[in-house]
Amino acid sequence: MAILVLGGAGYIGSHTVYELIDRGEEVVVADNLETGHIEAVHPKAKFYQGDIRDRAFVDKVFEECKIDAVIHFAANSLVGESMTNPLKYYDNNLCGTKVLLESMVAHRIDKIVFSSTAATYGEPKNIPIMESDSTHPTNCYGETKLSMEKMFKWTGRAHGLRYVSLRYFNACGAHESGEIGEAHAPETHLIPLILQVPNGKREAITIFGDDYQTPDGTCIRDYIHVTDLAMAHILAVQYLRDGNISNIFNLGNGVGFSVKEVIETARKVTGHPIPAVISERRAGDPARLIASSEKARQVLGWNPQHDDLEKIIASAWKWHKNHPNGFEKK
Ligand code: UFG
């Protein structure tokens, strides 16, 4: 029986496929390649190009492959874009998941691990954030991910499907081989943008606001290595295979770093001065987001290995230095 990875050509999806294959799993990848990269798909995975909004496509994959569980990364994930084009997010993230669930129910596939986000919480009331905290997303991306979680809950109750929702904090870093890594166009995330400076693709990094209520005035985030995220998906599949109930877990290191600390660490790793300029705050950025991942540690047995920011940035730098244009050849 295989694991179907939807969005397995994307950043976190491709790293999860590498870890699954390393552990001897049979893997089928489906991706529409709208934001994913064919070069990121592990050569040992069976690949289907198609869109989860296309019921005939999803049915075909389930009919041709014996699928035991689904890991679902196939979604749009840019916070800013979700605010200017919300219906794109409702269409892909929610309508896509509806079609997927209809097909899963029809084919009696009853286990799904889902890529969720800290953006489901919105402005946090408590730090560290617990899974039991209230969820009031402040952007449309987070709203669609929270709605997807609810689709799994109600579909599960009606049809016996079980799910694990993994709420990631700030994904970063790259595979140790240096063969796959983060490649978004446009890039909006802090660490790849910082590394564009030593790569000669950007003059300076812009700091979005230095007047937050934090020790150095810049926003604090919980940076978690993509391979540690990938491992959590494997543990979540095992958790469902073992017959456990549906559940939701935060995935973070539980340690926060400010934007200035991340830039300083990148200077140390790359040996480049990386000039920084201060600009206005970016709309919708909470001052501090730090996860409590105690539940994932205790229930899933998750034990993130990359808790050193310097090593995390070094792994990202290994990828970006050798692939300044991402997966493009030139
Ligand atoms: N930042 C800058 N300059 C930049 C880019 C980012 O100062 O050029 C700052 C942001 O303001 C923020 C921090 O760096 O304070 C991290 O920003 P990212 O865009 O890298 O990440 P976010 O924390 O905004 O977003 C991440 C995920 C989202 C998810 C969100 C949950 O990327 O998918 O966490 O809150 F929705």
CA 236–ligand 1 middle distance (angstroms): 26
Is the bond preceding 186 in cis, omega lying within 30 degrees of 0? yes
> Based on C-alpha coordinates, what's the Rg of the chain?
19
Among residues 270, 272, 261, which one has the least CA distance to residue 317? 270
What would the DSSP string read from start to end of 181-230? Answer: ----SS---HHHHHHTTTTTS-S-EEEE-S-SSSTTSS-EE-EEEHHHHH
CA-nearest residue for atom 5, ligand 1, is 190
The distance in angstroms from the start CA to the end CA of the chain is: 39
Give the model's pLDDT for residue 217.
98
CA-nearest residue for atom 29, ligand 1, is 119
Taking the C-alpha atoms of residue 299 and residue 239, their distance in angstroms, rounded to an integer, is 9
State how beta strands 220-221 and 257-258 pair.
Answer: antiparallel
* Partners of 196 in beta bridges: none
Residues with CB under 6 A from ligand 1: 77, 79, 117-119, 141-142, 170, 188-190, 193, 205-208, 219, 221, 259, 282, 285, 289
Which residues of the chain carry a pLDDT beneath 70? Answer: 329-330
Question: Which sequence positions are flagged as catalytic?
Answer: 141
- Burial label for 313, CB within 10 Å (0-12, 13-18, 19+), is buried
The pLDDT tens digits of the residues spanning 239-288 come to 999 999 999 999 999 999 999 999 999 999 999 999 999 999 998 889 99
CA-nearest residue for atom 3, ligand 1, is 207
CA 180–ligand 1 middle distance (angstroms): 21
Query: Residues 2-40, buried b or exposed e (16+ Cβ, 10 A)?
Result: bbbbbbbbbbbbbbbbbbbbeeebbbbbbbbeebbbeeb
Residue 159, token pair as written in the block: 């049809």
Query: Residues 58-85, buried b or exposed e (16+ Cβ, 10 A)?
Result: beebbeebebbbbbbbbbbbbbebbeee
